[in-house]
Amino acid sequence: MEIMAPEAPNKLLVSATRINLYYLHDLFQEIASEVSERIGSDLGIEVPLTAGMWGGSYLVADPTGVSRTNVKRLYSIVNFPQGTPLDKPEVFEMLMRYYRDSMTEQFREYRIQLGQPTWGDVIPYSNRRRPTTAMQMVDISRRINFARVFFVPNSATWAESIIFDMIRNVRQLRELLDIDHRPRIAGVDELKFLLQDILITYFTLRPALTPDFEEHANPIIKELYGKFVTGMSHRSDVEEQYHKVYANALAYGYEEALEGPYKKEGLDIFQVENWPVEKINFVPDELKEKLVPHLEGTFEKFSHNLTVQQA
């Protein structure tokens, strides 16, 4: 579902430390549409791209979509169809160049100077035959750290691709929070990003979590979220939250929310790398019913609240 954004002055960069994530999501959709039209014109065929924000910071934004923390890394997910000239490396390279140019031009309007592009990195826990790859661009102006775009090789709506990508996210969390191994010793920044992923995954999958796990996880997440919003700079605070997350096996509850619905479809989330390529971005109806309205509805609420605010 495409959501139209109301016009607003300085709509993306609300302040030196806050970004309106509704408009960021919309901007990523605009970039995908622009690139789709351009490459489709060059190839003489339609190449539909769907895109939007990746990461769940929008799920805990204020009622108009403004981030509650200082967002320094911008992530997008882009889905492109199989069975088109994009299957050829040289044409996919063209897509990367068009994306680089569009990202540069679009973000320049908001005083974000993206440069130093790199692309082609293969993302872990993606399909071995048709892996998800990434493009990254650094902000030379230092308003943000970087923008990173994931390219997923199969058609899907934005919401479907976010749900499917939770498999990869949960697999990574399970690896990092495996209770059969000793807790990790890592730097503060690494642990904070891990804890941020715990929050993102919880808020993304929340409608699909089992009631028992929700009851177990809610107070832990509530405390962790409060720490993030108020700032968590001391190593002791970060480590305390990490050990709580580790000891309470949160990654296993996330896993449970995905494993059952996919298993009913004959798919093992622990073997997602070996799935048939046509199953990339596949989401069971059971998860669609629970999660698509939750994800899309978040941006619909932002749109409504922005319209009321600007009236």
pLDDT confidence of residue 9: 41
For position 113, what pLDDT does the model report? 95
Confirm if 96 and 119 have CB atoms less than 8 A apart: yes
Q: Give the residue extent of every domain in the chain.
A: 165-271
Per-10-residue mean pLDDT, the chain, length 311 = 46 89 97 96 93 92 92 95 95 97 95 95 96 98 95 98 96 83 70 89 96 95 89 84 88 95 98 98 98 97 93 76
